[in-house]
Structure 1
Amino acid sequence: MARIYAASSWRNPLQPDIVGRLRDVGHEVYDFRNPPNGIPGFAWEEVDPDWQAWSAARYRELLTTHPIAARGFLNDLRGMQWADTCLLILPCGRSAHLEAGWFCGQGKRCIILTRDGEEPELMALLATDICVSMTEVEQALAGHG
C-alpha cells in the first residue's frame, strides 16, 4: 500500500471523500485538513482575517515570519517527505501544484486526478499518471495503470 500526500484545495469539496476512499482500501494518507499532529490544517485567516487585502510585501513578511505559517508549512513538508506518492486532486490552487512539482522533482510518484472541465496543463506530463476517475487512481496505485 502507498503512503499518499493528497494535494488539493480547501475549496475542493471532493477532497475529504477521496481521502476516505483511499484509506478505506488500505492506503495511508496525509490529509492537510487534518494533519497527524492534531492541529487543524493551515488557513490564512489564522494569520490575519484581512489576509486578502495584503500587499505583496506584507504577504512575504508574514509567510516568512509568522509562527502559524511556519507550523502549517512544516506540517505539509513533513507529510510530503513521508509520502511516496502525491495525488494531485483537481481543481486546486498554486500550493498544491508546487507540492506536486516537488514530488516530480524528487523522483516520487505523482498522480493527477482530473475531470471534465479542467483546464489542460502541458506540464502535467511530468506526472507518472493522469487519471480521470478514482477507479483509474486505484489501478495506478496497484501498478495496473
Structure 2
Amino acid sequence: MKIYVASSWRNLLQPAIVSMLRSSGHEVYDFKNPAPDNTGFAWREIDGGWDTWTPQQYRAALEHPLAKRGFKHDMDALRGCDACVLVLPSGRSASWEFGWALGQGKIGAVVMFEKCEPELMYLGNPILTSPDELFDWAEFNSANCK
C-alpha cells in the first residue's frame, strides 16, 4: 500500500512512523526526504528571514521555483497514495494534506501516541494510539486495498 505520512517537521515521531510502515512492506512517502537527491522543502532555502515575512512576501515566495518544486513533490505523492496517515502533533500543512486526501476518497488514520488537543473533524477516521494499532490498521487496509 502507498502511504502518505503527514506531520510536522518538528514531530520527532514522524521518522519512526515512516520506518515502521516501510519495515512492514509499505511504500511510504517521507516529506523530509521525498527523493534520493532531495531533503525536502524548507522556507529557509528561499530566505533565511522567512519567519518575518509580510503577507505580500509570503505570497511572492509561493511563486519561487523551490516552493513550486516542494509543492509538486508533495502533491504528486498525495495523488498517488492509497492512504494518508496524520501523525500528531502536526501543523497546518499536514492538516490540509490529510483533509485533501480524505476528500479524494483516500483511506485515512490519525496517529496519536501522546496526549493532544482534541479535534472534532477526525471523527470517522481511526485514532491509532500505539504501534500495534498502526501495524494492524496498515495490514488490514493493505489487504483490502488490492
Normalised-by-shorter TM-score class:
over 0.9
| Cα-Cα RMSD | 1.3
Q: Secondary structure at the match of 2:123?
A: helix
Q: Of residues 131, 135, 143 in structure 1, which corresponds to 2:132?
A: 135
Shift in Å, 1:126? 4.5
Deviations 1:66-115 (Å, cap 9, x if unpaired)?
Answer: 00000000000011111100010111100000000001100110110013
Work out the percentage of aligned pairs sharing the same amino acid. Answer: 48
TM-score, length-normalised on structure 2? Answer: 0.92
For 2:100 and 2:36, locate their aligned partners in 1 and report how far apart those are by CA, in whole Å: 22
Q: What stretches of structure 1 move > 3 A for 4+ residues in a row?
A: none
Could you say which residue in structure 2 is the equivalent of 1:38? 37
Q: Secondary structure at the match of 1:119?
A: coil
Matched, 1:109 2:107: yes
For 1:110 and 1:27, locate their aligned partners in 2 and report how far apart those are by CA, in whole Å: 15
For 2:72 and 2:124, locate their aligned partners in 1 and report how far apart those are by CA, in whole Å: 25
Shift in Å, 1:36? 2.3
Answer whether contact 1:3 1:85 (CA < 8 A) is retained.
Answer: yes
The letter of the residue matching 2:120 is: L
Could you say which residue in structure 1 is the equivalent of 2:69? 71
Answer whether contact 1:104 1:126 (CA < 8 A) is retained.
Answer: no
Could you say which residue in structure 1 is the equivalent of 2:117? 119
Could you say which residue in structure 1 is the equivalent of 2:17? 18
Matched, 1:62 2:61: yes
5+ long unaligned stretches in structure 2: 142-146
Answer whether contact 1:32 1:76 (CA < 8 A) is retained.
Answer: yes
The letter of the residue matching 1:139 is: D
5+ long unaligned stretches in structure 1: none
Shift in Å, 1:37? 5.2
